[in-house]
Chains A and B, each alone.
Chain A
Amino acid sequence: MTVAVLPHERGPSSFDVELPAYNGPLDLLLTLIRDEKVDIYDIPVARIAQQFLARIRHLPLDEAADYLEMAARLLRIKAQMLLPRNDQDDLWEDPRAELVRRLLEYQQVREVVDHLDTMAESRRGRFARAYLPESGPPPAPPLALSLVELMSAVDRVLRVTRQPTLHEVVPRSLDVPGAIETVRGALLLRARLRWRDVVVPGAEPWQVLSVLLALLELAKLGELKLAQPQPFADVEISRDAAGEAA
């Protein structure tokens, strides 16, 4: 029995890609059967195996595994064919049967592929409208502030308050409930307020903070809505109609 030189025994420098592209070992086998004009139901395994090995010799390595598996299968069938057998033995099964079944099945797939290819080509030759609806406005980019902007914002808030005298410690706790009452009262009179309306000029820091916490608390309760159209703009306070109804 001849032992063929398998691809991996050749150096990596001998990679050769001039081989016509096969879609796998079954494709190669079918090509051989067609080229050699042999009957698919009576394949001369020895000859076909020889041809198969000759052709895969030049395959690039990453494809070789699938072909090597088929080469081994062919050699095994070839060996099984050489075993002596009794012609009267009804139980003898042609060792090629499984391979023939797979080849026919694969040939069927190839035929379907021809159909699909024709259909895809016909569809490919016609254009549809390329318009795709836009997916809404992009979300606002995250707030990017420099340290200077942040500091000047703090400065603006504190400028409203009276300049605190540093040596005088005033232990005064926040009055959030009181501020809540003030804001509620103001909202009863007017549906929309501005930050400047609820923080009187010259307010103490504790008063400013109380109002801020009161606003946040009321917003959480759903009694009002807070909005700031752009960074550092005056905060707009409005009655929350939905919250009121609830």
Chain B
Amino acid sequence: MTPLAKLLEAALFASARPIPTDELSTLDSEASPEAVRAALEEIKATLDDGGHGVELVELGDGWQLLTRPEYTEAIERAQLALRPQRLSGASLETLAIIAYRQPIGRAEIEEIRGVAVGSVLKALVERGLIDIVGRAEGLGRPLLYGTTSLFLEHFALRHLGELPRADELAVALRPLIRVVEDEAEELPLGDAATAAAD
């Protein structure tokens, strides 16, 4: 491996969280972003071809060394590490809605799920998967929720664009998925609310 690849491998080993590419670039001031990316690919190839127990994965907003799935059971049986708790159906439904519709208020989530979601939201905020990202303009200025980078890590996503698109779903209705690419755009709230007032 090149010296840069070795340096990056050491840094990735030392870190407990995914390291973004630009943060990896600061390890060697002379390395260009292209060189860093090439070095990452080199590490990835080395780990994959050499038959290593860990692999380099791009997730969240960075890169991380992870154990390979085939060893999970043995590691867990020996109680060396424990898998995080699995999310409940209610949590996943709430997360799915927030991921596609963020920023979104509680009332709109409840309208789609048909149940009260107060305690689920609280638990998800505590787990760090979602966060309060602002307040809506409407009556009472309700809190708006959005997903965090931990959400991406939890589902091993690089960005929200990796979620299935609306037209890929079996049931393609009105755009539940408000194209995730233009996240920066301020999304108007309340079209579900007006639709609900029957």
Question: Which residues of A pack against B, CB within 8 Å?
Answer: 21, 23-27, 65-66, 70, 98, 101-102, 104-113, 115-117, 119-133
Contact = CB atoms under 8 A, between A and B. Distances in A.
A24 B57 CA distance: 36
Max chain B C-beta neighbours (<10 A), residue from A25, A27, A98, A126: A126
16 contacts: A24-B90, A26-B113, A106-B112, A106-B113, A111-B164, A115-B163, A116-B155, A117-B92, A122-B69, A122-B156, A125-B72, A126-B55, A129-B16, A131-B14, A132-B16, A133-B16
B114 A24 contact: yes
Question: Which secondary structure characterizes the binding site on chain A?
Answer: helix
Given A23-B115, A66-B116, 8 more contacts: A25-B114, A102-B112, A107-B171, A112-B96, A115-B164, A120-B92, A123-B156, A128-B65
Closest 5 pairs between A and B when the two form their complex, measured CB to CB = A24-B115, A123-B156, A126-B66, A112-B96, A26-B114
Interface in B154-198: 154-157, 163-164, 169-174, 176, 195-196, 198
Contacts of B17: 128
Contacts of A116: 92, 95-96, 99, 155, 163
B89 A113 contact: yes
B157 to A, nearest CB: 7
A65 B114 CA distance: 11
Contacts of B86: 120-121, 124
A27 B57 CA distance: 35
B59 to A, nearest CB: 7
